Amino acid sequence: MNNDRATTIAPDLPVLLRRPDLLRACHGSAQQNGPFLPVMNPATGRQLCTVPMVDADEARAMIAAAHRVWPAWKGVSAQKRADFLHRYADLILANVEDLALIMTAEQGKPLPEARGEVEHGARYVRWYAEEARRIYGTVLPTEQAGRRFMTVLEPVGVCAAITPWNFPCSTVLRKVAPALAAGCTVLVKPASHTPLSALALAVLAQEAGLPAGVLQIMPGRASEIGPVLTGDPLVRGLSFTGSTAVGKELMRQSATTVKRLSLELGGHAPFIVFADADLDAAVQGVLVCKFRNSGQTCVCANRLLVQEEVLPEFCNRLVRAVQGLRVGDGFSAGSDLGPLIDSAAVEKVEEHIADALACGAELACGGTRNPGQGYFFAPTLLTGATSAMRVAQEETFGPVLPVLSFKDEAEAVSLANDTPYGLAAYFYSRDINRIQRVAEALAFGMVGINTGRMSSEAAPFGGVKESGFGREGSRHGIREFLEVKTLCLGGLR
């Protein structure tokens, strides 16, 4: 801890916290005079605080420290690693309110959503506390006389985690918990918009008894830290959540040292409503799927596909529901949608809407940014959209939903799969045969059927195609941090 380099904070946030020390997180060891990262409140556009940045030299020193302590952490018994993770989950849950306040301040999402995210993240920690004790090897049957084959699972080693700003707490915990359970040491480079949540989580990990160096946080410039993480041979694994463009760049960079990669990348989810669906349930599904976190989720519906015969009725019901959503500061009771993360995000939303309107779409509701401070945008529906429009081709990452129509099941599946992305898809139907057919035909890593939300620590989360590879959550998530070692015992009589 170096007091010269401690986080400096605007006075309003700490007074809200029971534990202001969660924000006084400090990090790093080598550099003492480096620059500071400004953290903004997207609801006001004003600076919230500054955080000392890790530079390339400091990043290298942190990797070396993670490598030094790895043998000791790997040698800690599975039971003790599990005990640590249980204590860690307890501490996260005991500090839900503070962690949620920090998240809302730096990311903007409504406070109840932020609380939900912290609790969701804690469930991953609990899950991997349990998985830590179930890292089983195998004994293999063989025809070869005098030999026995076995496998053991070993930790990958020093791992890097690069995380996005849209879920500043859960994206960190979904990587850190399985990595620690597996016996890896971890370096987290959090998004520059939202470093505070990751730093606060590291304070709690230390409090739960994690030895120094096993988990380190690296706020700083991606252009400086990224190449150090990908180029250093001591880093054996990289788990990344973020955009497809950056994921491809990290793949290229990681080729030089042939790292284990897990990539959770962008999405472009179709949300299909068949004529036989429960339309009111589908409306509720769209609300939770599309407008949670103001449409800034990788799994949110980006294209609504509605069967022709129910299109007018469904749109009427949906417009009424969307008009009931309230946009406001995440700290205000009753806000359904907080601000977007920054002005660039608002501009992208405006560009997608302008392009759609120029190409013949109509505005059914929304369409405008809120006047005044902050990056607020009204929830927006565009009817009469077509596949040629940008909004139907690119990830918008905002509260805008284009509505397209389709004639039959074959056309719905073809439209849905017509994208390089393959993260999440959703559909509503009450026909069990159609449910089976469409679920199998959709080329996505996750399919929500009659639900707009499907994330759980018990279920694998991840994509196919340009949405990446690797899985988080469930028993599969820990495999990203484990190598299979084969043992052949010969000379047996």
Separation of alpha carbons 73 and 70, rounded Å: 5
Size of the site for ligand NAP (CB under 6 A): 29
222 or 281: CB nearest ligand NAP: 222
Separation of alpha carbons 109 and 100, rounded Å: 9
Of the residues 104, 166, 380, 429, which one makes contact with ligand NAP according to CB under 6 A = 166
From 298, 300, 315, 365, the catalytic residue: 298
From 264, 395, 457, 466, the catalytic residue: 264
256 or 323: CB nearest ligand NAP: 256
Residues of span 382-441 touching ligand NAP by CB under 6 A: 395, 397, 423
Of the residues 151, 243, 450, 456, which one makes contact with ligand NAP according to CB under 6 A = 243
Separation of alpha carbons 235 and 241, rounded Å: 17
The tokens of 295 are what?
Answer: 């449409």
Asked if residue 165 binds ligand NAP (CB under 6 A), the reply is: yes
157 or 195: CB nearest ligand NAP: 195
**DSSP bridge pairs for 403:** 304
Residue among 289, 164, 241, 277 nearest 469 (CA): 241
Q: Which amino acid is at 212?
A: A
Annotate each residue in 462-481 with x if it binds ligand NAP (CB under 6 A) or - if it does not, as one string.
-x------------------
The residue whose two tokens read 């004994």 is 139
264 catalytic per annotation = yes
Q: Which amino acid is at 49?
A: C
Residues of span 192-211 touching ligand NAP by CB under 6 A: 192-193
The SS3 call for residue 235 is strand
Separation of alpha carbons 490 and 493, rounded Å: 9
Asked if residue 226 binds ligand NAP (CB under 6 A), the reply is: yes
Of the residues 31, 95, 104, 163, which one makes contact with ligand NAP according to CB under 6 A = 163
27 or 87: CB nearest ligand NAP: 27
Whether residue 215 contacts residue 181, with contact meaning beta carbons closer than 8 Å, is answered with no
The tokens of 424 are what?
Answer: 């999440």
Separation of alpha carbons 309 and 317, rounded Å: 14
Whether residue 209 contacts residue 87, with contact meaning beta carbons closer than 8 Å, is answered with yes
Using CB under 6 A, which of the segments 191-199, 269-277, 347-355, 375-383 binds ligand NAP?
191-199
Q: Measure CA 434 to chain center.
A: 31
Q: How far is the CB of 187 from ligand NAP (least distance, A)?
A: 12
Q: How far is the CB of 45 from ligand NAP (least distance, A)?
A: 18
409 catalytic per annotation = no
The tokens of 149 are what?
Answer: 């084959």
Name the DSSP class of 143: S
Q: How far is the CB of 459 from ligand NAP (least distance, A)?
A: 13
Catalytic residues: 264, 298
Binding site for ligand NAP (CB under 6 A): 162-167, 171, 189, 191-193, 222-223, 226, 241-243, 246, 249-250, 264-267, 298, 395, 397, 423, 463
